[in-house]
Structures are given as structure tokens and as C-alpha cells.
Amino acid sequence: MLSYGEGQLAKLMAAGYSGTGDQPHFESMAMHAGSILLLAMGVSEILKVSCFGFLSAAKQKIDKLENFPPAKTTGGWASIQAGKPVIAFAGDGLPAGLVRIGRTEAARAWTMVGNLRDRPRW
């Protein structure tokens, strides 16, 4: 699915960049881009539920959906501890945020290795 979506996006980008075609052709490409977006969103949901353990309403009964998921976390400024770094995720930004945190941790680790290497030996 992902290779198909990537190939279609490459075709859409090339067609949009070249500018060759008439109005109905570009409108159909825009509609197709929307379907590719839905494909990517579906893959993202599958990844979030199966790999990251996010909640899914798929197995919930219809009359229980009103209060799903149950509120378990505190929110607001009072829940933030002063002096600690805070990263907020909104919407579907969690996977990208996790990658960013991983890069930050890796950069910090390499900085520590560099500091150890450059430290004078007694």
C-alpha cells in the first residue's frame, strides 16, 4: 500500500510541476490526491493502534462510544512540573514527534561521547 501511495504522489507532483493538462485533468488529480491522503491516514491509524498501543474504538459497543476513551489524565498548566522540558503533541503528530525525540536523544548521546573523547586524560 505504501509503495503504491508513494508512486502515485510522485506522479501527482510531477504532473503538477510540469503544468501540462487541462482543468478536468487537474481536478481529477486533486480528487485522486485526496484518496491517497485517506490511504495514508488509514495506514497511520493501523500503525498507531498496532505498534504504539493507541486506543481503538473498533471493539467498543455503539452505546459505550459516548464515554470512550475514559478520561484518565490530568491536563492543564498545573500538571506540568517546573524546570522539566515539555513536548506537546496535537493531532496525528505523535510518530513524527517520537522520531524527533529519538534524534534529540541520539544527538545528546553523541555529544556526551564527544565530550568524553575530548576530555583531557590525567
pLDDT, position 33: 85
Distance CA 84, CA 61 (A): 40
**For residue 18, what is the enclosing H or E element?**
helix 2-18
Averaged pLDDT of the chain: 75
Q: Of the candidates 44, 7, 42, 8, which has an alpha carbon nearest to the alpha carbon of residue 28? A: 8
Residue 73 lies in a domain: no
Residue 43 lies in a domain: yes
Contact 55, 69 (CB under 8 A): yes
72-122 confidence digits (pLDDT tens): 766 767 777 778 777 666 666 666 666 776 777 767 766 665 665 565 555
Same domain, 7 and 48: yes
Q: Which domain holds residue 27?
A: 1-56
Q: What pTM did the predictor assign? A: 0.45
pLDDT, position 8: 83
Q: Of the candidates 37, 73, 70, which has an alpha carbon nearest to the alpha carbon of residue 55? A: 70
pLDDT, position 118: 61
Same domain, 3 and 51: yes
Distance CA 1, CA 39 (A): 8
Residue 45 lies in a domain: yes
Same domain, 95 and 45: no
Q: Of the candidates 122, 106, 45, 63, which has an alpha carbon nearest to the alpha carbon of residue 98? A: 106
* Structural domains counted in the chain: 2
State whether the Cα torsion 29-35-41-42 is positive or negative: negative
Same domain, 1 and 52: yes
